[in-house]
Homo-oligomer: A and B are copies of this chain.
């Protein structure tokens, strides 16, 4: 199969479609968002390659994107043999709750697989190698950055064996989270609060300290702008030793409440990793933020800033051991936006392995057959 300019344009269009499909999946949950488009083999005279099947992953326990796309092709009466599978993540190569996607693609006799992002899972990775070993043309890297945007927390959690940690700060311009008398409602305005609720609906868990739970009595629910509970409710994690009063709003409708009677950041993250939490949103208080900062595990910062000055009152962050400016953690700004009268700055830690967004797909020759990789372990 030739890699003609038309072919490359077809692949790029198919990958964009696969990314769109992937985004329909849930941002939360133990599995990544993946989309797949199957292209019919190139025939002489075709202006563009025909899409014969599409699929995306709808959450743990449902079909992976490749399997969904193959099923879609068959339902439409299309033959996937010799097709090109365009998929936003390297096909997995292990049996978890469902079978390995690499095997499903081999069984369907596709000729080529083009994927965006490598699968980082120690258990689930290696699909590309297995496919190549069976003579399939495999290439990766096309739209890798866009795919990473869809699976950042999942990918980070699998690589680091802990949840991706987003620290939310909602402060005055001088970094205060409350006035000296403890009043804190509301520092930020309705647009910022609505945005924060939308973020809650995308994460697996929200954590606060018992101090915050007792002081603010938060519900920690994800709500839509009209006040209704969002369809997905993250776990509500309360960190610390004190008990919550029986009437606490945390006992009301919302996600499951998880009590972690510790102040140790590593213990908190290990317990949540065990529960397959990929993305943890930390909303306070300062003690928890500080413990995570001291441990160097804050992967993303969402700073909501209101045009208010207090001059006194608790800071968003307590001392965590920084003595000089060059020793302070600094994140890379992703976006700055206005939300009503407030600003939101989103910043991330340096990626440990940068993804080059400009890298074109490199269509490799099939490798010489070798032993297929065998993997075990949990499904990604």
How big is chain A's contact interface, by range? 35 or more
Contacts of A181 in B (CB 8 A): 323-324
Quick check: A174 and B347 within 8 Å, CB to CB? no
> B309 contacts A179, CB within 8 Å?
no
Number of copies: 2
Contact for A178 among B325, B337, B343, CB less than 8 A: B325
Within the complex, what minimum Cβ distance (angstroms) separates A286 from chain B? Answer: 9
* CA gap between A284 and B333 in the complex, in Å: 26
Considering the complex, which residues of chain A in the window 103-128 have a beta carbon less than 8 Å from any beta carbon of chain B? none
Asked if residues B184 and A307 are in contact (CB atoms below 8 Å), the reply is no
Contact status A174-B175, CB under 8 Å: yes
Smallest CB separation, A180 vs chain B (Å) = 5
Inter-chain contacts of A187 with B (CB < 8 A): 325
Pick the contact of A311 from B309, B312, B322, B340 — CB < 8 Å? B322
Q: A93 on the interface (CB 8 Å rule)?
A: no
B173 touches A169 (CB 8 A): yes
Given the interface contacts A329-B309, A338-B335, does A323 sit within 8 Å of B171 by beta carbon? no
Q: Which residues of B contact A139 (CB under 8 A)?
A: none
The majority secondary structure among interface residues of chain A is loop
Q: Flag A315-335 by CB within 8 Å of B: 1 or 0 each.
A: 111111111111111111101
A51 cross-chain contacts in B, Cβ below 8 A: none
A185 contact set on B, CB distance < 8 A: 325
- Asked if A345 is an interface residue, CB under 8 A from chain B, the answer is yes
Contact with B along A158-184 (1 / 0, CB 8 A): 000000000001011111101111011
Residue among B169, B316, B328, B336 making CB contact with A308, cutoff 8 Å: B328
- Residues on B with C-beta less than 8 A from A309 are 293, 301, 317, 322, 328-329
Which residues 273-320 of A sit at the B interface, judged by CB distance below 8 A? 290, 293, 301, 303, 305-313, 315-320
Are A173's CB and B173's CB within 8 A? no
Q: A305-B305, A312-B319 are known contacts. Are A324 and B183 too (CB-CB below 8 A)?
A: yes
Indicate if the CB atoms of A175 and B323 lie closer than 8 Å: no
Q: Mark A79-96, 1 if CB is under 8 A from B, else 0.
A: 000000000000000000
Q: Which residue of B lies closest to A306 (CB)?
A: B330
A293 adjacent to B319 (CB under 8 Å): no
Complex: A178 Cα to B323 Cα, angstroms: 10
Task: Please tell me if the beta carbons of A179 and B333 are within 8 angstroms of each other in the complex.
Answer: no
The yes or no answer to A264 lying at the interface (CB within 8 A) is no
Residue contact B317 to A179, C-beta cutoff 8 Å: no
Residues from chain B with Cβ under 8 Å of A180 in the complex:
322-324
A342 contacts the other chain (CB 8 A): yes
Whether A341 sits at the interface, judged by CB under 8 Å, is yes
Q: Give Cα A329–Cα B187 distance, bound, in whole angstroms.
A: 11
Of B310, B316, B341, which one neighbours A174 at CB under 8 angstroms?
B316
Task: Give the chain B neighbours of A306 by CB distance below 8 A.
Answer: 330
**Bound CA–CA A183/B327 (angstroms):** 10
Report 11 cross-chain contacts, Cβ distance below 8 Å, ordered by A residue. A171-B173, A173-B301, A183-B325, A187-B325, A293-B309, A303-B305, A305-B343, A308-B325, A312-B323, A333-B341, A343-B343
Chain A positions within 8 Å of B, measured between CB atoms, are 169, 171-176, 178-181, 183-185, 187, 290, 293, 301, 303, 305-313, 315-333, 335-338, 340-343, 345, 347
In addition to A310-B317, A333-B341, 11 A-B residue pairs with Cβ atoms within 8 Å of each other are A173-B316, A181-B323, A183-B324, A185-B325, A308-B328, A308-B330, A310-B322, A311-B320, A313-B322, A333-B338, A336-B338
